[in-house]
A = this chain, B = another copy of it.
Amino acid sequence: MNDLAGRDLLSSLDFTPEEVRGLLAFAHDIKHGRVRPALAGKVATLLFFNPSVRTRVSCESALARFGGTGITLAAGKDTWNFECREGVVMDGGTQEHVRELAPVLSRMGHFVGIRKSELITVGLDPAASGASYAELAKDEFLQRFTEFAEVPVINLESNRWHPLQGLADAMTIQEKLAEPRGKKYVLTWTWHPKALPVATPHSQLMAAADLGMRVTLLHPDGFGLEPEVVRRARARAEAQGGSLEESDDIAAAMKGAHVVCAKEWGALALYGRPEEERRQKEALRQTWIVDADKLRQTDDAFFLHCLPVRRNVVVADAVLNSQRSVVVQQAENRLWTAAAVFGALAAR
């Protein structure tokens, strides 16, 4: 595979499509017991600012199976509160600066993983942050941390990217379609009571693009992803022999689809204003759910979702319980792609 030792994985643009393919081949080999990533005695500090099931367990399990260890810290609960601005007089609510935190965690272990999304919440409460998407998309803490880190930093989901999810999706698509190039992939927006982050759909879009698929990004007006991300995805898709188009026509999108990936996300222009967002999308609820009828319009498509998923809100039971749903396999592939990432980024 490509030589990724010592690299960071902060976004789904950090690796070339060829590097992604190499990483996926490594993940397939690990899954099928053909190779073991060299993780014996390796330690990853995993810093979570948000709840997590799949990300945390897949990373810790990937390390543990091959002799390594993940140390999970719940930021702000197990730890101090962190500062990342320059020159600030720290006499307020923050106790530790990333200029210390990043090199210190780098000396403690061999990797640092960071999940920090201002938009992930538990329950129905609106996100605490009132910042604009443009502000949040800078992923300031992650970027600043990486600037001062001395070991590979792995993004476990930020405001803009969730690269490990993208890799697991790509691996699953490869397993189901064998040769995804030129096959039709639909990433469809779905209604959800909250304004969820765009990190996951950004990375999912890039995964399909890097596989050279014919990508349709399907969403109602006002619910597009970040234009720059879409532009980059289109360029990468085309370079791989694929394409990318945006559409709000559900029937046209479903027709001929080989993969339907559902994802709920918030309107970028309304981030930080959850009540207004909720009102604007109320009428979309009935239409923008993936149900059996929609799946029937496809070319016997496989169904993907990153999980957790609200049943009968985002997708109907009939779809999730059917043989076309590969969401469990997709989640399992979080484990093998995480093992591949840790194995590939480990310094030698």
Q: Which of A9-17, A138-146, A308-316 contacts B (4 or more CB under 8 A)?
A: A308-316
Query: Residue-by-residue, is A44-55 near B (CB-CB < 8 Å gives 1, otherwise 0)?
Result: 010010011110
Q: Which residues of B contact A313 (CB under 8 A)?
A: 89-91
Inter-subunit contact B311/A90 (CB<8 Å): yes
Q: Which residues of B contact A101 (CB under 8 A)?
A: 53, 308
Inter-subunit contact A107/B328 (CB<8 Å): yes
- Is A298 located at the chain interface by the 8 A CB criterion? no
- Is A317 located at the chain interface by the 8 A CB criterion? yes
- Is A261 located at the chain interface by the 8 A CB criterion? no
Q: How far is the CA of A320 from the CA of B52 in the complex (A)?
A: 34
Inter-subunit contact B90/A124 (CB<8 Å): no
A80's contact among B64, B308, B312, B327, by CB below 8 Å, is which?
B308
Inter-subunit contact A193/B91 (CB<8 Å): yes
Q: How far is the CA of A56 from the CA of B61 in the complex (A)?
A: 17
A61's contact among B43, B51, B124, by CB below 8 Å, is which?
B43
Would you give the shortest CB distance from A204 to chain B, in whole angstroms?
Answer: 17
Q: Which residues of B contact A56 (CB under 8 A)?
A: 71, 73, 78
Q: How far is the CA of A308 from the CA of B79 in the complex (A)?
A: 10
Inter-subunit contact A51/B64 (CB<8 Å): no
A100's contact among B89, B99, B105, B328, by CB below 8 Å, is which?
B328
Q: How far is the CA of A89 from the CA of B311 in the complex (A)?
A: 6
Would you give the shortest CB distance from A116 to chain B, in whole angstroms?
Answer: 15
Inter-subunit contact B108/A332 (CB<8 Å): yes
Inter-subunit contact B79/A52 (CB<8 Å): yes
Inter-subunit contact B124/A88 (CB<8 Å): no
Identity of the chain B residue whose Cβ is nearest the Cβ of A74 in the assembled complex: B78
Inter-subunit contact B57/A100 (CB<8 Å): no
Also in contact, A100 and B335, with CB within 8 A (given A107-B328, A108-B58, A122-B81) = no
Q: Which residues of B contact A329 (CB under 8 A)?
A: 107
Q: Which residues of B contact A69 (CB under 8 A)?
A: 60-61, 64, 69
- Is A280 located at the chain interface by the 8 A CB criterion? no
The 25 sampled A-B contact pairs (Cβ below 8 Å) are A43-B60, A43-B64, A45-B61, A53-B78, A56-B78, A57-B105, A57-B109, A60-B69, A61-B69, A61-B109, A64-B71, A80-B122, A81-B122, A81-B123, A87-B312, A87-B317, A90-B310, A90-B313, A91-B193, A95-B122, A96-B307, A100-B307, A100-B327, A104-B307, A107-B331
Interface residues of A (CB under 8 A from B): 41, 43, 45, 48, 51-54, 56-58, 60-61, 64-69, 71, 73-74, 77-81, 83, 87-93, 95-97, 99-101, 103-105, 107-109, 122-124, 193, 307-313, 317, 320-321, 327-329, 331-332, 335
